[in-house]
Structure 1
Amino acid sequence: MFTDVGPPELITLVVLAVLLFGPDKLPEFIQNVTTVLRKVREFSEDTKQEIRSELGPEFKDFEFEDLHPKTFVRKHVLERDDLGLGEIRGALDPRSELAEIAEAVHEAANGSRNDPPTTGCVTLAKEAPIEPTTHAAFDPDAT
């Protein structure tokens, strides 16, 4: 339910609860909250059981989580391969092509270290800077 609440948030909530309710009434407040949550859960489970019994025996294995849109699509579209989605997914997956390119680059990098550079290749080694033979006239007062 609260999967994105971390330790700093929990500490902040505890400090805030102690400040708002005080250390005297905090245990009583926690008991009231847990009682309310327990009653809501019981009400929810009773409602689910009542709906299942009203639907009849053919829906006794019915799960309400299946009504969530992501679960519905995953169960009825993605897991069944009637439409050939596996082939389409494989064709659109760039991982195999990227692996081939990475391998070719790796082989080229290892090969260039062992072989002397040829005349048509560009080398990445630094060359000595070219000294200018003539200096341009510069007048600092001109600006």
Structure 2
Amino acid sequence: MFNDIGPLELVTLIVLAVLVFGPDKLPKVIQDVTRTIRKIRDFSESAKQDIRQELGPEFKDFEFEDLNPKAFIRKQLDNDDLGLKEIRNGFDLKKEMAEVADAVHSRDADASPSSSSSSPSSSSGTSGGRVDMTKKPESPAADDRPPFDADAT
């Protein structure tokens, strides 16, 4: 419950408690706080038991921690009924990306000589239905501007 409180923070809390409540009232306050925490825990446990009874025998192994999405996913990944570990270990994203990059670069190397020998009518940078992404698009001529519509602006 208090896993993230360090020793210095704990000493600071004790000093503040002594200053606020005084040394004579501090034991009574600690008893009241622990009693309240105990009552909250008991209420929570009884509510959990009531919910388990209402759900029936098919949910006897139901844990409320499973409602946390992170815990649910962690539990499903640990449960290797579906072979997810094998799939996850077999998939290497860096390797896949390197293979794709190599394939693209080899196509670019193959397409470069053929694009220079292509017909003059294909000046758009395409060769055989492929677009050469390394070439910059040609700037349109001044006459190729789209029509201006004064009403649209």
TM-score normalised according to structure 2 size:
0.55
In the other structure, the counterpart of 1:59 is 59
In the other structure, the counterpart of 1:43 is 43
Q: Give me the identity figure in percent.
A: 60
Taking the TM superposition and a 5 Å limit, the aligned residue runs for 1:1-143 are 1-77=1-77, 79-80=79-80, 82=82, 84-92=84-92
Q: Which has the higher helix share?
A: 1
Aligned-partner residue type, residue 7 of structure 2: P
Aligned-partner residue type, residue 18 of structure 1: V
Structure 2 CA distance for aligned equivalents of residues 29 and 52 of structure 1:
35
Aligned-partner residue type, residue 89 of structure 2: R
CA shift, 1:81, in A, is 5.7
SS at the partner of 2:24?
Answer: helix
Q: Describe the superposition over 1:16-70 as per-residue Cα deviations: whole angstroms up to 9, x where unpaired.
A: 0000000010000000000100000000000000000000111122111111111
Q: Is the 8 A contact 2:77 2:84 kept in 1?
A: no
Residues 85 and 48 of structure 1: is their aligned pair in 2 closer, same or farther, counting only changes over 3 Å?
Answer: same
- Unpaired runs of 5+ residues, structure 2, are 95-153
Residues 89 and 22 of structure 1: is their aligned pair in 2 closer, same or farther, counting only changes over 3 Å?
Answer: same
Structure 1 CA distance for aligned equivalents of residues 29 and 66 of structure 2:
35
Equivalences, count: 94
In the other structure, the counterpart of 1:110 is none
Structure 1 CA distance for aligned equivalents of residues 56 and 81 of structure 2:
30
Structure 2 CA distance for aligned equivalents of residues 22 and 61 of structure 1:
48
Residues 84 and 42 of structure 1: is their aligned pair in 2 closer, same or farther, counting only changes over 3 Å?
Answer: closer
- Unpaired runs of 5+ residues, structure 1, are 95-143
Residues 78 and 60 of structure 1: is their aligned pair in 2 closer, same or farther, counting only changes over 3 Å?
Answer: closer
Structure 1 CA distance for aligned equivalents of residues 84 and 51 of structure 2:
36
Structure with greater contact order relative to length (CA < 8 Å, sep ≥ 6): 2
CA shift, 1:77, in A, is 4.1
SS at the partner of 1:3?
Answer: coil
